[in-house]
Structure 1
Amino acid sequence: MRTTRIASCAPAAVNPKTAPGLCKVILATSLGNGLEIFDFTVFSFFAGVIGAQFFPVTDSLTSLLMAVGTFGVGFFTWPLGAMVMGVYADRVGRRAAMTMSVWLMALGTAVIGLCPSFATLGIGAPLIVISGRLLQGFAAGGEVGASTTYLMEAGPASRRGFLVSWQPASQGAAALLGASLGVVLTRTLTPVDLAAWGWRVPFLVGLLVAPVGLYVRQQLDEIQVPTATAGFARTPLGELCREHGRKIVLATLMLMGSTVLTYVIVYYMPSYLTRVMHMPPTTGYLSAALSALILLVVSPLSGLLADRLRRRKPLVLFVFGCNAMLVLPVFRMITHAPSTLAVLLGVGVISTVMALGSGVGLLLLLEAFPARVRASGLAIPYAFGVTFFGGTAQFVVTWLIKTTGDPMSAAWYVGVSCFVSFCAILLFSERRAEP
């Protein structure tokens, strides 16, 4: 459907009046987003094996450091994708941007999943993997702003919290699928088979993102994109810089704690437990699966709660305050009593608190921007937050552990990040956006 621009600040959104209509929006949007995040995160789950295949060195921790460094490289194209495709979503349409991101993510995933190993291709192999990560980062950077904005605008204002909560819930579903594949593969394949070809299976599964994601998104109607009135036309990026610079900076710092926490607790934990704590690989994947399951289940419940609260900000402050205080005792329990039960208990507690504020925090940011720059307004700070803090979290944590020799270094980094976000939220002004 061709997008029509309108002068009003209120989008003429797809406004489902029935439960099936809302379910259609949730399924189509979150399924595509979840499949993209799945492609983006399986690299993290299999970082140790990938490091051995493409960065063969004698020190396993150095190999892991190079692998998670390659994982982090993909985040540096995230801001570029956010700016290019965020503007595209604001000027052309949310659905159009989501469709484009599906194709780009599928291409990046194919490049990684089908790339020959270092033993076969030599130095070209890690270079190809890095290029695949860069393409994945560009696609993911454009996906989050467009899909989350679509979720907010496609339904009634009274259901915004619930609708937006499916963005982190879909990420939880994607991480759960990736962790489940990790458990199955590590339990059914020998270490030799896992290193030879087993790690490629999740990437090939991720290629389903193209046909499935495109099909479900073609079932959606495009949301009309609001723009400034004639004579005051502005580009989304220009308007954001001139009128919302302070919001962008605070929003980026607000996302620091949540991205660091997510990428350490959910995605880095399998590598942390196996390479640092020397625990069985299954324990690491079980912890990631538990955290992802909690994110999938608790996020929509938190969204329902947000729709019943007069203000979103106090709940987000509560979550980040609790996370800053919980992370140290949780990691102390894991490092001083390393057992599967201790890991699952600690990860379960902190993941539950994290999930309580995931969707609400995104909604707080979305409502702070006018509709004509809303997709860019979320995508850009989200991208910079993920790039500078989330994307580098695994590399920084691994480096800190290698340098200090203390596994608790991870906890201190996460705790400080959550405290910075808590302070940024205190300074952020809450507002309720127009319907």
Structure 2
Amino acid sequence: MSVGGEYAASATYLTEASSPRRRGFSSSFQYVSMTVGQLIGLGLQMVLQQTMSDAALHSWGWRIPFVVGAAGAAVVFYIRRGLLETEAYEEDEGVEAASRGTIRGLLAHKREFALVVALTMGGTVAYYTYTTYLTKYLSNTAGLSKPDATLVSFLALTIFCVLQPLAGALSDRIGRRPLLVTFGVGSMLGTVPILTALRGVTTVGQALVLSVAALVIVTGYTSINACVKAELFPTHVRALGVALPYAIANALFGGTAEYVALWFKNAGAESGFFWYVAGCAAVSLVVYLTMRETRDTALRRSERSGDVPQPA
């Protein structure tokens, strides 16, 4: 809830506040910041695992990260109070007032609504599989110790974090669709082999190589999905247009990924989850292949008038 609830506003804000030539690069920092948060959490987990007994950690130590998170939320609240509105939003004030930020206004963009649900489906399942579920998978299935599994996740996510702005900048040069298609093909064809191989790893190095390979594929989605979704909608319903279909897809597919994985594992058919992830990616791939390129979409009046140069 904490991640999904803030996704749309941050995606919209980062996209609207960016230069049209650097939207992919700038909006990629959404996943940079999300991943840094995960790294801080994993880092704190590793410290607690090394300094506390297993009994103490399970009894009361697990509450420590929540206290740290609460303190961080207060700092973020203070920072956000000083943020300026984007030009696109200010230009749109008074325009489409009756339908601004309303479900009625959003219903005029049913196709884009469906697009966001479908293009999110594969990406969110893959993301949660290789981030939040990965540590449990390496520990419960591959047989790595919990500290080793945590270390693998920490190192893999560090590399993943660095990749986001690089892929975002690439999309500003070649477009968004090539990266989405690369993710779709890679996830559809690579998920089963990677997760199958991860099941048999015996060392941290083997697990790290396979985890990084998976996250390189996922980067094709995570680095640019924020700006792609924002570029699909006009300003007066942009935040809602990103929020509602994303929330639906994230709740149905991303948020349930761990539960589906554990259901397959408890049923004695864990490999069924691998095919589930690949199938979700296949559905999204169809959308990536048929949707329009969004890179050159004008979000502000100055962009529509040609005052701001578009990327080559």
Bucket of the pairwise TM-score, normalised by the shorter protein: 0.7 to 0.9
- Identity of aligned pairs, percent? 31
Q: What residue number does 2:274 align with?
A: 411
Q: What residue number does 2:117 align with?
A: 252
Are 1:317 and 1:422, in contact at CA under 8 Å, matched by a contact in 2? Answer: yes
User: What amino acid does structure 2 have at the position aligned with 1:288?
Assistant: S
Rounded to whole Å, the distance in 2 between the matches of 1:179 and 1:229 is 45
Q: What residue number does 1:387 align with?
A: 251
Q: 1:141 to 1:322 in 2, by over 3 A?
A: closer
Residue 176 of structure 1, CA deviation: 1.1
Q: What residue number does 1:344 align with?
A: 208
Q: Does 1:190 align with 2:53?
A: yes
Alignment map for 1:208-227 (pairs within 5 Å): 208-223=71-86, 224-225=89-90, 226-227=92-93
Equivalent residue for 2:105, pick from 220, 233, 239: 239
Are 2:185 and 2:282, in contact at CA under 8 Å, matched by a contact in 1? Answer: yes
Residue 228 of structure 1, CA deviation: 6.2
Give unpaired runs (5+ residues) of structure 2: 301-312
Equivalent residue for 1:332, pick from 177, 192, 196: 196
Q: Does 1:262 align with 2:127?
A: yes
Q: Does 1:359 align with 2:223?
A: yes
Residue 428 of structure 1, CA deviation: 2.2
Q: Does 1:281 align with 2:167?
A: no
Q: What residue number does 1:83 align with?
A: none
Q: When the two structures are aligned, how many residues end up with a matched partner?
A: 294
Are 2:4 and 2:250, in contact at CA under 8 Å, matched by a contact in 1? Answer: no
Equivalent residue for 1:427, pick from 282, 290, 308: 290
Residue 227 of structure 1, CA deviation: 4.7
Other structure's SS at 1:208 match: helix
User: What amino acid does structure 1 have at the position aligned with 2:22?
Assistant: R
| Cα shift readout 1:133-171 (whole Å, capped 9, x = no counterpart) | xxxx2x544411111111111132111111100111111
Rounded to whole Å, the distance in 2 between the matches of 1:189 and 1:424 is 48
Residue 356 of structure 1, CA deviation: 3.4
Are 1:161 and 1:303, in contact at CA under 8 Å, matched by a contact in 2? Answer: yes
TM-score for the superposition, normalised by structure 1: 0.64
Rounded to whole Å, the distance in 2 between the matches of 1:371 and 1:228 is 12
User: What amino acid does structure 2 have at the position aligned with 1:332?
Assistant: T
Are 1:335 and 1:408, in contact at CA under 8 Å, matched by a contact in 2? Answer: no
Residue 357 of structure 1, CA deviation: 3.0
Give unpaired runs (5+ residues) of structure 1: 1-136
TM-score for the superposition, normalised by structure 2: 0.88
Are 2:261 and 2:273, in contact at CA under 8 Å, matched by a contact in 1? Answer: yes
Rounded to whole Å, the distance in 2 between the matches of 1:424 and 1:261 is 16
User: What amino acid does structure 2 have at the position aligned with 1:244?
Assistant: H
User: What amino acid does structure 1 have at the position aligned with 2:134?
Assistant: M
Are 1:227 and 1:233, in contact at CA under 8 Å, matched by a contact in 2? Answer: no
Could you say what the CA RMSD is over the residues aligned between the two structures, in angstroms?
1.9
Rounded to whole Å, the distance in 2 between the matches of 1:338 and 1:260 is 26
Are 2:39 and 2:158, in contact at CA under 8 Å, matched by a contact in 1? Answer: yes
Q: What residue number does 1:167 align with?
A: 30
